[in-house]
Structure formats: C-alpha cells, structure tokens
Amino acid sequence: MTRFLEYTTRHYDKLIEALLEHLQMVGVTLVISIVLALVISLCIMDRKRISSWVMRVCSMIYAIPSLALFALLIPLTGLGSSTAVVVLVIYNQYILVRSFTEGLQLVDAGIREAAVGMGMTKWQVFIKVRFPLALDAMVAGIHIAVISTIGIATIGATIGAGGLGSILFDGMRTQNGVKIVWGTVLSVVLVLAVNGLLKLAEKKIKKGIYHMET
C-alpha cells in the first residue's frame, strides 16, 4: 500500500499524461472512423450485394488479432501513434459500417417511398427522413466503437503509441503491480465515464427525435 501511494504521488503527472495521450488517440480515431464509416455506408446502403461483401471483408479484418495488425502495419506506417490510429480506424469500420448501413436500411420502406413520392430529392430524403430515423442505431454503433477503441488502444503501446497501455506494459515488463493496477483502473474509469456520457446522449436523441421516454 505504501508503495502504491508513493508511486502515485511521485508519478501522478505521468499517469495524467498517459490518460490524455489515450484520450487523444481515441478522439482522433473516432473522428476519422465516423467520417470514413459514413462515407462507406452512404455508398453501399442501397446496394444490397455490395454491402454484404463489404461487411464480409470488414469482419475478416476484425478477426485479425490486434497485436498482429499493429506489427503488420509497422513497415508501412512506422512506429508511433499514427499507426495505432490507422489500426483502430480499421477495426472500427466493422462496428460502425455495420450499424450505420443496417440503421439506414431498416428505415421503413413505406416512409421512404412517401418521401420520394412527395418530391424530395435523394439528399432531402436522406437528411430529413433516413438519417434522423437511423440515428438511434448509428449512435448505438458509435457507443460500441468508443468502448472497443479505448480497450484496443492500450495495445498501441507495443508499437510506441503511448497512452494508458504504456503504463500497463511497463508494469508487466518490470513486474510492477502498481503500474498494472493504475493502467487497468484508468482504462476502466475512462470506459465508465464515456459510457455514462454516451448513455445520456442516446437518451437525449430518443427524446428529441422519437419522443420516446426511456
């Protein structure tokens, strides 16, 4: 216990730095992932065969162990956090493209036909009808992606991406239990905090768009 307190008081700046690095990695990843997934989803949502192929490819990539994918990308993008972000973005595509396209495809056909039949342009149908009605499913996908990104990002430390993983792996290499505990605790706290925020956002959306009390 004294070792724990001693480490914490002496190195709290390192802990905060790692946490911030982690947050930054997750944040950058999310922004890129969501934009990319939106573009992909828009391209494939009305093409059933192509979308099922895209999903197959994404799920295959998702099945590659993260450590292996990090290692595979080193020759291409080198060491550091940018490689980690690339890997995390790739993983997220499975979760995000899936929930985005499914959400957009599941919007009631009658409602879509009414929108088209009344003279909305393709873009108006998307913005006014399809997107708001799919938003629920899309945010649920983003939620899963955030949580999974926070977890997988710790592996990024193996290629020098920093973040909470660096504390964890340091601890493992030097048999330092305190570091392992701190790395784990901070990851979990981060997940819980983000989880709470997203739940709040989901509730707001449900109320604002669908007028459902949850």
Partner 1 sequence: MSIAVEFKDVTKKFAGAGANAVDHVSFQVEKGELVTILGTSGCGKTTLMKMINRLYDPTSGEIDVFGEDIARTDPVLLRRKIGYVIQQIGLFPHMTVAKNIATVPDILKWDKEKTDQRIDELLKLVNLDPEEYKSRYPAQLSGGQQQRVGLARALAADPQIMLLDEPFGAIDAINRSNLQDELLAIHRRSGKTFLFVTHDVTEALKLGTKVMIMDRGRIQQFDTPREVLDHPANDYVASLMKSVVEGLEFLK
CB of 154 to partner 1, least distance (A): 39
Burial class (CB in 10 A: 0-12, 13-18, 19+), 3: exposed
Q: Does 115 bind partner 1 (CB under 8 A)?
A: yes
Q: Which is nearer to partner 1, 116 or 178 (CB)?
A: 116
CA–centroid distance for 121 within its chain: 32
Q: State yes or no: residue 6 binds partner 1 (CB under 8 A).
A: no
Contact criterion met (CB below 8 Å) for 174 and 7? no
Closest among 76, 44, 81 to 159, alpha carbons compared: 81
Within 8 A by CB and 6+ apart from 26, the residues are 88, 146, 149, 150, 153
User: Minimum distance from CB of 106 to partner 1 (Å)?
Assistant: 13
120 binds partner 1 (CB under 8 A): yes
Q: Least distance to partner 1 from the beta carbon of 29, Å?
A: 30
Supply the minimum distance, in Å, between the C-beta of residue 105 and partner 1. 17
Sign of CA dihedral 147, 149, 150, 151: positive
Looking at the Cβ atoms of 65 and 119, the one nearer to partner 1 is: 119
Q: Tokens 């505990």 — which residue?
A: 181
**110 makes contact with partner 1 (CB under 8 A):** yes
How far is 10 from 180, CA to CA, in rounded Å?
16
Binding of partner 1 by 108 (CB under 8 A): yes
Nearer to partner 1, 129 or 186 (CB): 129
Provide the binding-site residues for partner 1, judged by CB under 8 A: 108, 110-111, 113-121, 124, 128-129, 132-133, 209-211
